[in-house]
Amino acid sequence: MLQLITLSSLTKVFSDEQPKDERYTRFSMLKSERSSFQVALCSDEDITLSFKTEGWKSDSISSYTVEEIQSDFPAYKDSDDYFLRKESGKYPDLLVPVSNTVELKGGKWQSIWFELDSSDVSAGDYEIVFSASDDNGAEVSSKINVEVIDAQLPVSPLICTLWFHCDCLATYYNVEVFSEEHWTIIENYVKNAVSHGINFILTPLFTPPLDTEIGGERPTVQLVDVEKAGGTYKFGFDKLKRWVDMCDRCGIKYFEMSHLYTQWGAKHAPKIVGVVDGQEKKLFGWDTRAGGKEYNDFLSQFAKALVKFIDENGLRDRCYFHVSDEPNLTHYFTYKKRSNVIASLFSGFKVIDALSDIKFYKKGVVKYPIPSNDHADEFADKVKEFWTYYCCVQHKEYVSNRFFAMPSARNRILGFQLYKYNAVGFLQWGYNFWYSRYSKYAINPFEVTDAGKEFPSGDAFVVYPGKDGMPLNSLRLKVFYDAVQDFAAMKLLETKIGREKTIEIIEREADGPVTLKIYPHGNEYILRTREAINNAIKENI
């Protein structure tokens, strides 16, 4: 017996369980949007199925098998109850491109993921027919109706960064940092990031001092060349210029300059290498006091040179700076001193940092804070620009996140929340972090998904390393991009009916307020509300 169920992109299909969600039969999308659905299949015996889809332009539909990946650490013990499972085991996550055949294991459910691109498709109604058959004559089919609305989805105005880790690419693919091979791989991954809503990229002026144990080092990835002669420094920006040009080709809009002090306290300088008397050596690092004269002199000279480069290349409105990541109140006075230095050296630029105690903002230590989404409500009506982020810590109070074990709806709800809060930007720390916690050793992300049993699976990365330096995507990245598209669709509707009425639709469908912690759980609300938004756009064309 061969079973088939057509499902939305929000269902996670486990091989050992028949999907319980309702069949997905109809949806709408805007022009230039990418929307996904799934076909879940199960056979009593091992078979090879040949499949095809009809009713949509063949070069505008992509298909993937959804592969399960092991999670040894799916959730913290004290996580809330909005999870699919919390046991160690295999979770659907990896999307592997497939053409027209799929292998089914007897008694196991397998999902095929279809992504439709409406960029080159005319507005109108389409009936997409999926059919599959095996060599023994067994055949199944299903239909899904898609309406393409004659309204262009705008490019999302959300400033969005998932931290890009160049060193992880060099380590996994075993290539020299900033070799030609490395540059090619970097560009492949940047293109993919941009195609999924990321337009703001962590730019390693110097090796980013992130997730590194005290005294430890990550591989050197430094775009700025440094030469020291006495107390004078010379700077070379050729690699940084190549980075900017590459990012421009890919569609990056903003540059997130790497942190100029170490994480969790701003007590030390990042690792910076340079040439002294013809020899490359480490100039600064864990043994450098952040407030010491030598590093302050370096920063002063560096800032002048960097700002000159930025202005010569017309980048002033595209660059943001960081002081130190995730300071807390025990670091307040140290962070304040370092923040004042950066504000002075980079006057006129926006300085942003992930931090969640509002005292930093109220005291004027940071003008553009990025609080975690479980603390962001306190900032919402006070800050000039609302930003938020999440990481492994955000696993309670039902805030949005993207762990393997969480429902996809908990990932996608972020788009509605960011719109409701009139967000300017969003940050998450792991596009492709393939090291253990504190970067002690490299991991194979196909086998280790929790940074060495330190972070719940799904926190550290949303892409897997594919062959020939090409990324493989997770379903979590596709769902996150759906959230970005939802945000853009609401911004479009706002131009037609206003922000207040757009929010009315979001909260009418929720039958109450939508906040970062309060919203309807499950798939139905998101699917229904997005259709309501699309219908309102259609009515106001």
453 within a domain of the structure (yes/no): yes
Q: Which residue range forms the structural domain that includes residue 55?
A: 2-154
417 and 471 inside one domain = yes
Concatenating the DSSP letter of every residue in 97-139 gives: E-SSEEEE-TT-EEEEEEEEE-TTS-SEEEEEEEEEE-TTS-E
144 and 174 inside one domain = no
With a CB cutoff of 8 Å and minimum separation 6, the contacts of 278 are none
527 within a domain of the structure (yes/no): no
Q: Are 272 and 226 in contact (CB under 8 A)?
A: yes
> DSSP code of 60?
G
Q: Are 368 and 384 in contact (CB under 8 A)?
A: yes
344 and 416 inside one domain = yes
What value, to the nearest 5°, has the Cα angle with vertex 298 and ends 292 and 302? 145
537 within a domain of the structure (yes/no): no
297 within a domain of the structure (yes/no): no
169 within a domain of the structure (yes/no): yes
What's the structural domain count of the chain?
A: 2
246 within a domain of the structure (yes/no): yes
CB neighbourhood size of 278 (10 A): 6
pTM of the model: 0.98
Domain boundary among 154, 187, 210: 154
pLDDT per position as a tens digit, 192-220: 999 999 999 999 999 999 999 999 999 99
**In Å, how far are 244, 313, 351 from 237, measured between CA atoms?**
10, 11, 21
* CATH code (residue 37): 2.60.40.10
> Tokens 């109604």 correspond to what residue?
125
The two beta strands, 425-428 and 159-162, are parallel
Q: Which three-class secondary structure state does DSSP give residue 22?
A: coil
213 and 125 inside one domain = no
245 and 316 inside one domain = yes
Specify the amino acid at residue 200: F
CA 419/CA 112 separation, integer angstroms: 31
pLDDT at residue 196, as a whole number: 98
**In Å, how far are 154, 226, 489 from 322, measured between CA atoms?**
29, 20, 31
199 and 83 inside one domain = no
pLDDT at residue 152, as a whole number: 98
pLDDT at residue 364, as a whole number: 95
130 and 177 inside one domain = no
pLDDT at residue 393, as a whole number: 97
Domain boundary among 154, 177, 207: 154
pLDDT at residue 138, as a whole number: 84
Reference 473, options 462, 486, 483; nearest CA is 462
36 and 79 inside one domain = yes
Reference 436, options 403, 405, 461, 404; nearest CA is 461
Intervals of the chain under pLDDT 50: none
288 within a domain of the structure (yes/no): no
> DSSP code of 513?
-
pLDDT at residue 137, as a whole number: 82
* CATH code (residue 170): 3.20.20
Domain boundary among 491, 513, 529: 491
128 and 244 inside one domain = no
φ, ψ dihedrals at 34, nearest 5°: -115, 125
Q: Are 491 and 108 in contact (CB under 8 A)?
A: no
Query: Buried b / exposed e across 441-475, counting CB within 10 Å, b at 16+?
Result: ebbebeebbbbbeebbbbbbbbbbbeeebebbbbb
CA 31/CA 122 separation, integer angstroms: 8
> Tokens 């196909």 correspond to what residue?
446
204 and 59 inside one domain = no
With a CB cutoff of 8 Å and minimum separation 6, the contacts of 390 are 372, 373, 374, 399, 400, 401, 402, 428
48 and 9 inside one domain = yes
Q: Are 70 and 89 in contact (CB under 8 A)?
A: yes
180 and 93 inside one domain = no
pLDDT at residue 361, as a whole number: 97
281 within a domain of the structure (yes/no): no
pLDDT at residue 136, as a whole number: 83
